[in-house]
Amino acid sequence: MKSLKTLLCSASAAVLLAASATIATVATTTAASAEDLTVAYFLEWPTPNQFAQAKKIYAEKLGVSIKWVSFDAGTAMSAAMASGDVQISFSQGIPPFVVAASAGQDLQIVDVAVSYSENDNCVVRTSLEIDKTNVKELEGKQVGVPLGTAAHYGFLKQMDHFGVNVSTMKVVDMAPPDGAAAFASGNLDMVCGWGGALRRMKEHGNVLLTGAEKEKLGIQVFDATTVSTQWAKENAELLAKFLKVTADMNAKFAAGDSGEMLSVIAKAAGMKEKATKETLDGFAFPTLEQQLSAKWLGGGTQKFLKEVGDFFVKQGTIPKARDSYESAVDASYLKAASKM
Residues 205 and 234 occupy one common structural domain? no
Task: Give the domain extent around 275.
Answer: 14-116+221-338
Dist CA 192 CA 204 (whole Å): 13
Residue 117 — pLDDT band, cuts 50, 70, 90? confident
Least-confidence region, from 126-130, 145-149, 189-193, 230-234: 145-149
Q: Which of 180, 198, 216 is the last residue of a domain?
A: 216
Residues 231 and 323 occupy one common structural domain? yes
Residues 202 and 316 occupy one common structural domain? no
Least-confidence region, from 2-16, 34-48, 192-206, 275-289: 2-16
Nearest to 329 by CA among 213, 232, 192, 196: 232
Structural domains counted in the chain: 2
Q: Does 31 fall in a domain? A: yes
Instruction: Say how many C-beta atoms besides its own lie within 10 A of residue 170's C-beta.
Output: 15
Report helix, strand or coil for 266: helix
Residues 278 and 292 occupy one common structural domain? yes
Residue 219 — pLDDT band, cuts 50, 70, 90? confident
CATH number of the domain that residue 141 is part of:
3.40.190.10
Residues 143 and 233 occupy one common structural domain? no
Tens digits of residue pLDDT in 226-262: 999 999 999 999 999 999 999 999 999 999 877 889 9
Residues 40 and 145 occupy one common structural domain? no
Residues 280 and 317 occupy one common structural domain? yes
Dist CA 72 CA 174 (whole Å): 10
Instruction: Say how many C-beta atoms besides its own lie within 10 A of residue 295's C-beta.
Output: 13
Tens digits of residue pLDDT in 19-65: 444 334 333 333 444 567 999 999 889 999 999 999 999 999 999 99
The beta strands (E) that lie in the chain are given as: 38-42, 67-71, 88-93, 107-115, 120-125, 142-145, 170-173, 190-194, 205-207, 222-228
Q: Which residues are within 8 A (CB) of 127 and not within 5 positions of it... i.e. 6 or more apart?
A: none
Q: Which of 199, 216, 233 is the last residue of a domain?
A: 216
- On the question of pLDDT at 11 being above 90, the answer is no
Task: Find the farthest-apart pair of alpha carbons in the chain and give their distance in angstroms, rounded.
Answer: 57
Mean pLDDT, the chain, whole residue set = 88
- On the question of pLDDT at 276 being above 60, the answer is yes
Query: Across residues 204-227, what is the average pLDDT?
Result: 90
- On the question of pLDDT at 177 being above 90, the answer is yes
Residues 189 and 234 occupy one common structural domain? no
Q: Which residues are within 8 A (CB) of 86 and not within 5 positions of it... i.e. 6 or more apart?
A: 38, 39, 40, 69, 77, 80
